[in-house]
């Protein structure tokens, strides 16, 4: 796990990739984008896995946690969760907990423009995971990863997916904190992402509460 | 950080890209002097961090210094899509034979730098990209290898750059890519890149966006100076390092984590309310950061009620509660405040508010009920 200040983080990730470690989780927020371009390109050539940066980590409730997620929010279960946002992950897990639904594994992929693992990377792992019955995908405005994930889900996944997108109220052209959460042109808006997911049969909740309810319905509870 | 045109141009010029001779002016008098010093026809250009200046009347040709004075007088103070013009750039008018487009940007989808070139520049390039997709050629660059001569050849050939401009354009592409890397830029764009009547290739505009996360190591940008937002709350937030965006509603929002804050805005809207802002107190918020954030929010008198929505991971709810009490003590705010605290030290946080907060602070147990309550209270205050 890499948890060093941004200006040293690229070196720390490269150091971890040079070691025998297979999976690196980078928590650090604020790493220069050009550093991550180089790190990402190198990481791809090593065949190793990088989660993050600017992410809360990975947790399999009751088994293991690598990162900074508050463990009391999660409980063992059979729903996988993949998210670009840390606190939103906790919020949705809490909503699921209120309905008595636990998680198989929760992965925060991070909110930066360049991240080691995409939605698709994690969705494909969940699809192959016998302990996951359904996946919740939590996206937000900016970029086109949710749209690409929508295509992937329709073409490749047998595990059902429920979606959530944050940022319907975001004004166009304004940066909302995450470097990744920048609207570029008409694509990348919350509405466009919701539409892309729904067009491929993924139900999208309007609030974290509704997401939990859609999960409950999909599981037939 | 978006640089102004002249700031971007000077950075490109210092790396060897030719730009028309020019000067910055902040008054009409300075514009007249600049035009006289440059001599001949000049262009008066509004300096704002937004596109579409020409269509808004922010770019004018002046035949002589007196005309430059008149144009500067009209343009200075103009509001271009929410940006007030505080300076103009006066530059020598160019004899243009052809207009091109060149840029290096950060392609998030491919996670690679992307170089784009078109022989059809000078107009709305997004329109060109849609109506004549073949006219805008794109080439991804391996960041570990960098921009190579063959990349430059491929681009000028496929974009259909005129023979007399090929050499100059290839040189500029190399410089542009070097600038993109060495400035830690997210975008370096020249539109139009111009072939002059005497066959020089020069930059008539420059749009440079720097990665805020890398500003600490871009010492050459120190004299570019901070470009402060016009809005009073946005300026205050900027000066204090708070991530804040003003919106036009009346429910003030404070949360932690960009995703949760955006979700909070959405839930407030679903509850029939209108969020007044986006404010991300960030991960690991301490009490004094909460105080600073609240100072920004409470200085906006459009805010009728406040919604504080915290899910503690590395942020501790008791720290947030202490910060809220300190801020209320200091600012004496009486507007209704709805607080939702979950996560790390939630019981301690709620207890602090229950035992010690004034009566205008109410605690709600869920995000949805907190949003509904804040909307209801804001309407009651209207």
Kindly state the average pLDDT of the residues A149-170.
96
Residue A116 pLDDT: 97
Three-class DSSP category at A179: coil
| A115 lies in the same domain as A154 | yes
Residue B358 pLDDT: 94
Residue B372 pLDDT: 97
Give the number of other CB atoms < 10 A from CB of residue B182. 13
**pLDDT surpasses 50 at A182:** no
| A64 lies in the same domain as A80 | yes
User: How many domains is chain A built from?
Assistant: 2
Q: Which two tokens stand for residue B355?
A: 């035992």
Interchain contact, B278 vs A176, CB within 8 Å:
yes
Whether B215 contacts chain A with CB within 8 A: no
Average pLDDT, chain B: 92
Residue A67 pLDDT: 95
Whether A141 contacts chain B with CB within 8 A: yes
The model's pLDDT over A202-211, given as tens digits with 9 standing for 90+, comes to 999 999 999 9
Interchain contact, B214 vs A32, CB within 8 Å:
yes
| A176 lies in the same domain as A210 | yes
CATH number of the domain within which A158 lies: 3.40.50.261
Provide CB contacts within 8 A for B119, sequence distance 6+: B98, B100, B135, B159, B160, B161, B162
Residue B196, CA distances (Å) to A155, B157, B168 in order: 51, 19, 11
| A67 lies in the same domain as A136 | yes
Comparing A104-108, B115-119, B132-136, B274-278, the range with the smallest average pLDDT is B132-136
The model's pLDDT over A48-68, given as tens digits with 9 standing for 90+, comes to 999 999 999 999 999 999 999
Nearest residue in A to B281, CA atom: A177
Cβ(B311)–Cβ(A95) below 8 Å: no
Interchain contact, B270 vs A37, CB within 8 Å:
no
Q: Determine what percent of chain B is predicted with pLDDT higher than 70.
A: 98
Kindly state the average pLDDT of the residues B180-190.
94
pLDDT: which is higher, B126 or A16: A16
Kindly state the average pLDDT of the residues A101-118.
95
Neighboring chain B residues of A148 at a CB cutoff of 8 Å = 109
| A30 lies in the same domain as A80 | no
Residue B110 pLDDT: 87
Comparing A59-68, A142-151, A166-175, B302-311, the range with the smallest average pLDDT is A166-175
Residue A176 pLDDT: 43
For residue B294, say if its preceding peptide bond is cis, omega within 30 degrees of 0: no
Whether B150 contacts chain A with CB within 8 A: no
Interchain contact, B258 vs A140, CB within 8 Å:
yes
Distance from CA of B258 to the nearest CA of A (A): 6
Residue A186 pLDDT: 47
**pLDDT surpasses 70 at A174:** no
Within 13 Å of residue A206, how many CA atoms lie on the same side as its CB?
A: 8
Residue B206 pLDDT: 94
Of A35, A51, A67, which marks where a domain is finished?
A: A51
Three-class DSSP category at A2: strand
Q: Cα torsion at B22, B27, B33, B38 (round to 10°)?
A: 10
Three-class DSSP category at A92: helix
CATH number of the domain within which A22 lies: 3.40.50.720
The model's pLDDT over A111-145, given as tens digits with 9 standing for 90+, comes to 888 999 999 999 999 999 999 999 999 999 888 89
What are the structural domains of chain B?
A: 1-19+95-219 (3.30.470.20), 21-93 (3.30.1490.20), 232-381 (3.40.50.261)
**pLDDT surpasses 50 at B346:** yes
| A5 lies in the same domain as A107 | no
Task: Report the alpha-carbon distance of residue A17 to residue A24 in Å, rounded.
Answer: 7
Task: Reply yes or no on whether B101 is catalytic.
Answer: yes
Domain hosting residue A214, numbered range:
54-218
**Is residue B347 exposed (0-12), middle (13-18) or buried (19+ Cβ within 10 Å)?**
exposed
| A73 lies in the same domain as A30 | no
Whether B256 contacts chain A with CB within 8 A: yes
| A42 lies in the same domain as A66 | no
| A153 lies in the same domain as A81 | yes
| A203 lies in the same domain as A132 | yes
**pLDDT surpasses 60 at A179:** no
Residue B106 pLDDT: 87
Residue A183 pLDDT: 36
Q: Determine what percent of chain A is predicted with pLDDT higher than 90.
A: 85
| A180 lies in the same domain as A140 | yes
SS (H, E, C) chain B: CECCHHHHHHHHHCCCCCCCCEEEECCHHHHHHHHHHHCCCEEEEECCCCCCCCCCCCEEEECCHHHHHHHHHHHCCCEECCEECCCEEEEECCCEEEEEEEEEEEECCCCEEEEEEECCCCCCHHHHHHHCHHHEEEEECCCCCCCCHHHHHHHHHHHCCCHHHHHHHHHHHHHHHHHHHHCCEEEEEEEEEEEECCCCEEECCCEEEECHHHHHHCHHHHHHCCCCCCCHHHHHHHHHCCEEEECCCCEEEEECCHHHHHHHHHHHHHCCCCECEEEECCCCCCHHHHHHHHHHHHCCCCCCEEEEEEEECCCCHHHHHHHHHHHHHHHCCCCCEEEEEEECCHHHHHHHHHHHCCCCEEECCCHHHHHHHHHHHHHHHC
Residue B123 pLDDT: 64
Nearest residue in B to A5, CA atom: B213
Residue A177 pLDDT: 41
| A4 lies in the same domain as A109 | no
């Amino acid at each position: 796990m890499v948890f060093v200040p941004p200006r040293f983080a690229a070196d720390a990730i490269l150091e971890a990739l040079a070691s025998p470690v297979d999976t690196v989780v980078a928590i650090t927020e604020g790493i220069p984008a050009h550093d991550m371009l180089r790190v990402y390109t190198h990481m791809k050539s090593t065949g190793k896995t990088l989660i993050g940066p600017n992410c809360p980590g990975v947790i399999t409730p009751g088994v293991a946690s690598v990162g900074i997620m508050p463990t009391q929010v999660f409980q063992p279960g059979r729903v996988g969760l993949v998210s670009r946002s840390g606190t939103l992950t906790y919020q949705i897990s809490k909503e699921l907990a209120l309905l008595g639904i636990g998680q198989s594994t929760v992965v925060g992929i991070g909110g930066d423009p360049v991240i080691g693992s995409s939605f698709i990377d994690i969705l494909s792992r969940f699809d192959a995971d016998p302990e996951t019955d359904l996946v919740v995908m939590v996206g937000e405005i900016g970029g086109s990863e949710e749209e690409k994930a929508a295509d992937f889900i329709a073409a490749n996944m047998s595990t059902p997916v429920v979606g959530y997108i944050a940022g319907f109220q975001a004004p166009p052209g304004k940066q909302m904190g995450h470097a990744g959460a920048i609207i570029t042109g008409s694509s990348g808006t919350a509405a466009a992402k919701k539409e892309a997911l729904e067009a491929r049969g993924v139900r999208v909740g309007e609030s974290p509460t509704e997401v939990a309810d859609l999960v409950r319905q999909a599981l037939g509870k | 950080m978006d640089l102004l045109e002249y700031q971007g141009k000077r950075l490109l010029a210092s790396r060897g890209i030719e730009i028309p001779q020019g000067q910055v002016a902040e008054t009409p008098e300075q514009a007249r002097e600049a035009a006289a010093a440059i001599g001949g026809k000049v262009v008066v250009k509004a300096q704002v961090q937004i596109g579409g200046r020409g269509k808004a009347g922010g770019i004018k040709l002046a035949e002589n210094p007196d005309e430059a004075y008149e144009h500067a007088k009209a343009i200075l103070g103009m509001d271009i899509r929410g940006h007030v013009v505080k300076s103009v750039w006066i530059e020598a008018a160019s004899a243009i034979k052809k207009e091109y487009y060149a840029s290096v940007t950060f392609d998030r989808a491919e996670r690679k730098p992307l170089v784009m070139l078109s022989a059809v520049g000078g107009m709305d390039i997004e329109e060109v990209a849609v109506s004549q997709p073949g006219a805008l050629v794109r080439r991804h660059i391996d960041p570990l290898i960098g921009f190579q001569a063959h990349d430059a050849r491929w681009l000028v050939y496929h974009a259909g750059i005129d023979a007399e401009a090929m050499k100059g354009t290839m040189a500029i592409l190399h410089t542009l890519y070097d600038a993109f890397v060495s400035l830690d830029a997210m975008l370096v764009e020249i539109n139009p890149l111009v072939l002059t009547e005497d066959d020089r290739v020069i930059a008539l505009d420059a749009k440079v966006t720097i990665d805020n996360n890398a500003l600490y190591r871009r010492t050459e940008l120190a004299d570019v100076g901070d470009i402060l937002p016009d809005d009073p709350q946005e300026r205050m937030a900027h000066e204090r390092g708070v991530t804040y965006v003003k919106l036009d509603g009346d429910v003030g929002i404070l949360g932690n984590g960009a995703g949760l804050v955006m979700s909070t805005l959405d839930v407030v809207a679903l509850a029939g309310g209108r969020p007044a802002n986006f404010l991300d107190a960030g991960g690991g918020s301490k009490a004094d950061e909460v105080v600073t954030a609240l100072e920004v929010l409470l200085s906006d008198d459009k805010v009728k009620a406040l919604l504080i929505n915290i899910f503690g991971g590395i942020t501790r709810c008791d720290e947030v509660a202490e910060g809220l009490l300190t801020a209320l003590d200091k600012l004496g705010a009486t507007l209704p405040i709805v607080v939702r605290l979950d996560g790390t030290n939630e019981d301690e946080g709620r207890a602090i508010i229950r035992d010690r907060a004034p009566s205008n602070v109410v605690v709600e147990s869920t995000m949805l009920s907190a949003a509904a309550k804040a909307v209801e209270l804001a309407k009651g205050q209207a």
